[in-house]
Amino acid sequence: MELITPAIGLIFWTTVTFLILLFLLKKMAWKPILGAVSDREESIKNALTSAENARKEMQNLQVDNERILKEARIEREEMMKDARTIKETMLTEAKDEAKAEASKIIEAAQATIQSEKQKAITELKTQVAELSVGIAEKVVRKELANDKEQSVLIEQLLKEVTIS
């Protein structure tokens, strides 16, 4: 029956042994175990903080990347717009230059035509004057007495002379 009802001495020595063991564990084991647990807890907190900082930095980088891409797209659109404007300006200038050159060529051609026309008219007048003088000279040389012979002679001379 002793096992069922322990004696006071056994309870006392068990308690003393437990307290000594508790004291020894507190002095020898609890501090290193609690220090290791505390260090582990601190390293986990640091790792979580680092992970959170890295996540925030990744978000910031992603926002920066999106902003940079947006700026690049805007810059590309501006460059394309400038290129289109330059192209339109060049085309307009080329058309204006071509029109001006065509106008100059047309004016030069018209001036040449006018000059040639005046030259032809002058030459024609000269030929008509020469023919008139030639006819008058031939009429005067013959000194015809009657008008009928003069008319026949003038018609004959006119048939001989062709205007070229």
- Over residues 88-99, the pLDDT tens digits come to 999 999 999 999
* Residue 134: pLDDT band with limits 50, 70, 90: confident
Q: Is-above-0.85 flag for pTM?
A: no
Domain total of the chain: 1
Q: Is residue 93 situated within a structural domain?
A: yes
Task: Give the domain extent around 37.
Answer: 8-160
In a domain, 120, yes or no: yes
DSSP-based three-state secondary structure for 4: coil
Phi, then psi, of 163 in degrees rounded to 5: -80, 125
- Domain for residue 32, yes or no? yes
In a domain, 111, yes or no: yes
Residue 97 lies in a domain: yes
